[in-house]
Structure 1
Amino acid sequence: MLADNDEQIRHKAVKTILDMRINSSSFRPIEIRPFNLPSIRFTAETYVNMIDCETSFITEPPFTRYLTKEVLINCLRAPLEIPAHLCHTQAVERTIQLVTKSSCSVTGEMRDMD
């Protein structure tokens, strides 16, 4: 939402994050964040309304946790620029190769027991 072109959506995101920071008891970067499965509104017409962030999340998301308040305030004027991250590492490529190879060894509903 911080990277959205719509200023109202960015404003809602900044307000929600700042409210979470104010309401959290303390900032503990080492603490394990509990996973809370949010309820999804399948009838929502925009992605912003799919999840109610104010009631679904107790703590701030890890991605925004280390953004300074100044960076968040700047998101009100311009969308946040998210740096590109590589998603295909050598480990991922090896895993894909291994899964492909193993899936070829079993075909059909029953495996041949030769």
Structure 2
Amino acid sequence: MTKHRIYTTSFASVYPHYVAKAEKKGRTKEEVDEIIRWLTGYSQNELERQIEHKTDFENFFEEAPQMNQSRSFIKGVICGVRIEEIEETTRREIRYLDKLIDELAKGKTMVKILRK
């Protein structure tokens, strides 16, 4: 089966869109980074290094230091697909991140977004 093109897309090329979406709704780059760090376990320096090296999405998630165990509590629909029904791991991880950024842009508190 052919991999979806998002797998080979650099995380760095999509990251500014995450930040722009958040900032358009009055949120911050720092909140976007906090969400990404919470989800993946990257430190801020490691996250910046991944962006600088233009790591593709597949490797970005494969190299994540420690995916957050609470991510399984992220539920809902993104792009018309129910997240909890996505079987392919990398695609599900990407959709988890998309969902968290959507929640940020919709005004949810960080406590709720980070499932605390």
Which is higher, the Rg of structure 1 or of structure 2? 1
Please say whether Structure 1 and Structure 2 have the same fold, judged by a TM-score greater than 0.5. no
Which structure shows the higher helix fraction?
Answer: 2
Task: Using structure 1 for the length normalisation, give the TM-score.
Answer: 0.28
Task: Using structure 2 for the length normalisation, give the TM-score.
Answer: 0.28
